[in-house]
């Protein structure tokens, strides 16, 4: 029987790459997003809904149950608020934490409760969880909290055979941020190439699969070496 995975944020640049890659690796995938199923993902089940709503969680699990027990979860939802610390809007900041952290917690607990056997959870974090740049505080705080959730889940659910990890993409030029490509940004990558959504998806597939059965509680950079680089003046 093919393993079953839920992917939230499945219509985004990284999310859709994760869906496509998991299908190639033999997974049955249920994609979840606010938008309708993008072209090219006709082979997967699709649930349209807000990841913050419990009804969306229940609907996705019901669809997945038609194929067997859910053995994998990937959360790839995105919420950000750009601006200086003093200009952050409290309501928008709350939304960032709801989408990036609270929803990841809710989906993780639901999957673990529904899966009596081992499950693997992978959350899409960011290099911003470990480094800071002006104007990205809300996003960074959300991703840092997500990494804390990963460690807590690995420790609490490890005795049940549940693994929980995160990937930390660097700058991934997808449709929403293509305009931010620059020679300066590329120079911060020791590999001298941008990380692609497919690069991230391959690591996600590894962390979901049995080949990584001894890996849990890890936040793994997939960043072309960005986090390994000191500024030239350091």
Q: Return the active site residues.
A: 139, 143
Query: Dihedral angle at the C-alpha atoms of 60, 64, 65, 66, nearest 10 degrees?
Result: 120
Joined together, the tokens standing for residue 89 give: 């809007």
List all residues 6 or more positions away from 140 whose beta carbon is below 8 Å from its beta carbon.
126, 128, 129, 131, 132
Joined together, the tokens standing for residue 13 give: 């640049």
Taking the CA atoms of 14, 17, 18 and 19 in sequence, report the sign of the dihedral they define.
positive
Number of H helices, E strands in the chain: 7, 7
Element (H, E) at 146: helix 137-157
Nearest-angstrom CA–CA distance, 43 and 23 = 8
List all residues 6 or more positions away from 60 whose beta carbon is below 8 Å from its beta carbon.
6, 30, 32, 47, 49
Angle (CA) 37-38-41 rounded to 5° is: 80
């Amino acid at each position: 029987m093919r393993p079953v995975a839920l992917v939230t944020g499945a219509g985004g640049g990284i999310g859709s790459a994760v869906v496509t890659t998991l299908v190639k690796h033999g997974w049955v995938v249920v994609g979840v997003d606010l938008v309708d199923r993008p072209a090219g993902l006709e082979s997967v089940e699709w649930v349209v809904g807000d990841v913050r709503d419990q009804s969306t969680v229940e609907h996705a699990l019901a669809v997945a149950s038609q194929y067997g027990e859910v053995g994998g979860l990937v959360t790839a939802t995105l919420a950000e608020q750009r601006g200086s610390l003093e200009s952050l809007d409290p309501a928008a900041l709350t939304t960032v934490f709801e989408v990036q952290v609270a929803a990841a917690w809710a989906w993780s607990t639901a999957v673990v409760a529904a899966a009596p056997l081992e499950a693997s959870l992978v959350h899409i974090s960011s290099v911003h969880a470990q480094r800071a740049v002006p104007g990205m505080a809300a996003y960074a705080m959300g991703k840092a909290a997500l990494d804390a959730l990963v460690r807590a889940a690995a420790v609490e659910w490890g005795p049940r055979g549940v693994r929980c990890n995160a990937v930390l993409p660097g700058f991934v030029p997808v449709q929403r941020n293509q305009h931010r490509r620059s020679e300066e940004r590329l120079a911060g990558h020791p590999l001298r190439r941008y990380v692609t959504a497919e690069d991230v998806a391959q690591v996600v597939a590894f962390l979901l699969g049995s080949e990584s059965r001894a890996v849990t509680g890890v936040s793994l950079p997939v960043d072309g070496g960005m986090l390994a680089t000191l500024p030239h003046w350091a």
